Amino acid sequence: MKNFMLVADLVPKLDPTDYVGFTFFVGCMAMMAASAFFFLSLSQFDKKWRTSVLVSGLITFIAAVHYFYMRDYWAAHMESPTFFRYVDWVLTVPLMCLEFYLILKIAGAKQSLLWRMIGFSIIMLVTGYFGEAVDRDNAALWGFISGVAYFVIVYDIWLGSAAKLAKEAGGDVLAAHKILCWFVLVGWSIYPLGYMLGTDGWYSGLHGLNLNIDVVYNIADAINKIGFGLVIYSLAVKSSK
């Protein structure tokens, strides 16, 4: 009995009415299921597409591991797992940049494109972390710097060098690139909205807006990690015929 009590103490109870905790819970399942889906589909693709689909699976798998931890962290402490949220992003967002590079390699994408995108994504995330966790008094300033880095990435893929390469590649690659561009422009823009929800000085005065920052981030992650991976998956399906 004594041992049983100890185990019960180790596993925090998830209250069924805790909707924030529930989105962490569903996030774990969704990321795990997506990873299994991507990994198990690998053998059906031509060699040159396998790396791209493998990276899709790695993105959701890394997220799944973080979600298992964040789910328990939330249940035990009832506060945002901000640090591990950003650890997850710092690992997965550069992998999403790698996806752009991998599909554009056909048109001769250079590694400098990859490193520039990764560089700006890290600036975006590190400054965001400072605003959310280290220097909350200046959240607006950090958010602004982060937003500038975000727009450089948006520019690169919509109008800059990545866009030119996609046009040269044409066909299915161009179509997939366009959809990924929409993910970054619309799907990624959910994150700054969540950031403004969680830091003062924006619309924190809006009472009755009973939204939680973690719910916003969890929904955005599901869209951007799983949806993004599925675009790569369908490109690989089309191109492996």
Ligand X SMILES: *C/C=C(C)/C=C/C=C(C)/C=C/C1=C(C)CCCC1(C)C
Q: By the criterion CB under 6 A, which residues form the site for ligand X?
A: 89, 92-93, 124-125, 128, 143, 146-147, 150, 188, 191-192, 195, 221, 224-225
The CB-of-121 to ligand X minimum distance in angstroms stands at 8
The CB-of-80 to ligand X minimum distance in angstroms stands at 12
Nearer to ligand X, 64 or 169 (CB): 64
The CB-of-92 to ligand X minimum distance in angstroms stands at 4
The CB-of-227 to ligand X minimum distance in angstroms stands at 10
CB-closest chain residue to ligand X: 128
Contact criterion met (CB below 8 Å) for 157 and 180: yes
Each as own residue / partner, the long-range contacts of residues 210-217 (CB below 8 Å, 24 or more positions apart, any chain) are: 212/19, 212/20, 213/80, 214/20, 214/23, 214/24, 214/74, 214/80, 214/81, 215/19, 215/20, 215/23, 216/190, 216/191, 217/85, 217/191
Q: Tokens 């909707």: give the residue.
A: 19
The CB-of-89 to ligand X minimum distance in angstroms stands at 5
Nearer to ligand X, 199 or 239 (CB): 199
Contact criterion met (CB below 8 Å) for 149 and 123: yes
Nearer to ligand X, 45 or 225 (CB): 225
DSSP state of 42: G
- Pairwise CA distance, residues 183 & 43, whole Å: 27
Nearer to ligand X, 170 or 201 (CB): 201
Nearer to ligand X, 103 or 169 (CB): 103
